[in-house]
Amino acid sequence: MTHVTDKPLPRRRDFLAMAAAGCLMTPMMARRAGGDEGAEPERPNILWITTEDHSPYLGCYGDPLANTPHIDQLAREGLRYTNAFANAPVCAPTRFTLLTGTYAASMGTLHMRSRNPIPDAIRPYPELLREAGYYCTNNSKTDYNYATNDGSHWDESSNQAHYRNRAEGQPFFAIFNYTISHEGQIRDNNVAQRQENGMLPPEPRIAPEDFPLPPYHPDEPEIREDWVLFYDLMDLLDQQVHQRLQELEDNGLAEDTIVFFYSDHGGILARSKRFLYDTGTRVPLIVRVPEKWRHLAEAPPGESTDRVVSFVDFAPTLLSLAEVPIPSYMQGKAFLGPQTTAAPQYAFLYRGRMDERCDFSRAITDGRYRYVRHYMPQRIFGQHLNYPHEVQQNWTAWEAAYRAGRCNAVQSVFWEPKPVEELFDTELDPWEVINLAGESAFESLLKTMRTALKDKLLAVRDTGFIPESMFKYLAGDETIRDYALSNEYPMDLILRIADQATQRDIAQLPVIETALRDRHPVIRYWGAMGCALQPENIGAMKSTLMEMSREDLPANRIAAAEALAQMDEQDHALAMLREVVLDEDDAAATEAMNVLDYLEERTVFSPEELEQIAADNQRYNYAQRIAQYWLDNFVRA
């Protein structure tokens, strides 16, 4: 089981002091001590070109609609990974995983834009590279999803950061992040501005009527328009990548620099980004290793590899390429360089709260088969999210088509409660619309992958089974990761109860009833969640739920109230949920408002109270977004 070391690694000042005293000498320092200060770098430069919100929709990945000649050329000069995955389908948790080489689900940093602390022993890779002599620059996103001074890990971190500012002969690690393919770029005003300045053609390169829609999208003009616009934005991305690579050539650094090209997760249209499907997690990854450093590569230029890699593997791989020892707390596996290990069988994927919407799913994939387990199956896939609905017309068009009855069975799934389990064959069913979980022919595979996921959840001590609003109550002065590693977190029992309680199976009622009375608050929470999933069968548990609805812990009051509201205790339940929103912090208020939205009980607040919640950004962050949604769509409409 992966664990955090008890003792933090030396800080930079300690490292330099030991080096000055002759107690520590890195390979870089040894070469300098030997007198080849003016020689070519003895370790490679490393350049990351990162992009946003796109799956492998590139010519080099076989997409016939793509116009990406420069990225395709990079693939011919490098190694193309066909099974590369973002561990989460949204940016901030993936950025945390990239930065630390640890799973956000194991550190309590899986929920979108959370700022929870992590153990001091977990150190971002740029700190380790800098201690080894690298000049590290970030241009320019940070947003690392935990309590940190986001820019402090770098020599430079801004939209002006550049490797050119390093000392002579100093190797560099540099990130250049491009946002042209981000979902926000398809806003109408962004498109019009780019058409006016000539960046985008007046008409899309691909005629909307000719675009082959995925089977889950209904044939609506707004959806077709967004798809073809995305491909035009990818054309611009290809040009930007070319300019960055040309700059490397012009500076005479191409032969000394290993180049990574990848996207921060999949995307861009509805049912991709934010979801644990291939369209949300599979990413392009190309690594170009110049001749001088070819011994560090897995295969020669122009080849592809089906090795399963995910973002948790990137930090250890960087350290391997830079001849820096990989810390024991890193949970990934190096896939290049002298510290390369055997490939993992599966990539581990996780989804938590996405902005203002609470959800909880986990998945694994071996590159072909994907198993997904949903722990909030009562919530629909397409919960309303203010941001994508604001910037992407395809979301609202799809929802309108569903409500108007224009969606077939496959297209309707997104707007309906989830199955508990999903199993897909992404080779035969690349859009993942055929759930094999109930097919007898796949029963053995389902059991194998179900067990593999459980083993992974236990190994990483997944903190997602703890409600986010409960973190501060359980962790106290420690981090939630410290708590999860302690004996106070009976992960194996909690996982078993959560699995049984969320099956919607009447046979699990004895387990649910016992869980409701357990001394551990997380187990009680999952007992209440089980009640909320089959309220018609839990009349005998009403008195226990009533007691639970008065607990000090907001998460348990909320879970009990969700169950009670579906019984004959609606007035009491709604009063409890209203109290949480008005009296507790944003995490608890957001959880409570998610339940109220699910119950379609939006009148527990007056319009004036909703106005106040929506305007109070000192206290609320995500609860205010739900209040604004209610105001715009139910109160003022």
Any idea which residues carry the catalytic annotation? 91
Report d(CA 354, CA 280) in Å as an integer.
13
Closest by alpha carbon to 233, among 271, 190, 270? 190
**13: Cβ–Cβ under 8 A, 6 or more apart, which residues?**
none
- How far are the Cα atoms of 71, 195, 394, 498 from residue 239, in angstroms, in the given order? 9, 16, 26, 48
Nearest-10 Cα torsion for 60, 62, 65, 69: 10
Report d(CA 532, CA 496) in Å as an integer.
18
Backbone angles phi, psi at 86, to 5 degrees: -80, 135
And the tokens for 509? 């009622």
Specify whether the backbone of 290 is left (phi greater than 0), alpha (psi in -120 to 50) or beta. beta
Residues in the chain: 637
One-letter amino acid of 134? Y
Place of tokens 């990548």: 241
DSSP tally for the chain: helices H, then strands E:
25, 13
And the tokens for 377? 């199956």
8 Å CB contact between 602 and 634: yes
And the tokens for 556? 């348990």
**239: Cβ–Cβ under 8 A, 6 or more apart, which residues?**
70
And the tokens for 242? 């070319």
Report d(CA 483, CA 463) in Å as an integer.
9
Q: Are strands 135-139 and 156-157 parallel, antiparallel or unpaired?
A: parallel
Report d(CA 511, CA 588) in Å as an integer.
26
8 Å CB contact between 172 and 136: yes
Kindly state the helix (H) or strand (E) to which residue 175 belongs, with its residue range. strand 172-177
Kindly state the helix (H) or strand (E) to which residue 92 belongs, with its residue range. helix 91-100
Distance between first and last Cα of the chain: 53
b/e 113-145 (16+ beta carbons within 10 angstroms → b): bbebbbbebbbbbbbbbbbbbbbbbbbbbbebb
Q: Tell me if residue 176 falls in helix, strand or coil.
A: strand
b/e 452-476 (16+ beta carbons within 10 angstroms → b): bbbebbebbbbbbbbbbbbbeebbe
8 Å CB contact between 154 and 137: yes
8 Å CB contact between 557 and 580: yes
Residues 253, 258, 260, CA angle at the centre, nearest 5°?
125
Backbone angles phi, psi at 374, to 5 degrees: -100, 125
Q: Are strands 135-139 and 172-177 parallel, antiparallel or unpaired?
A: parallel
8 Å CB contact between 82 and 262: no
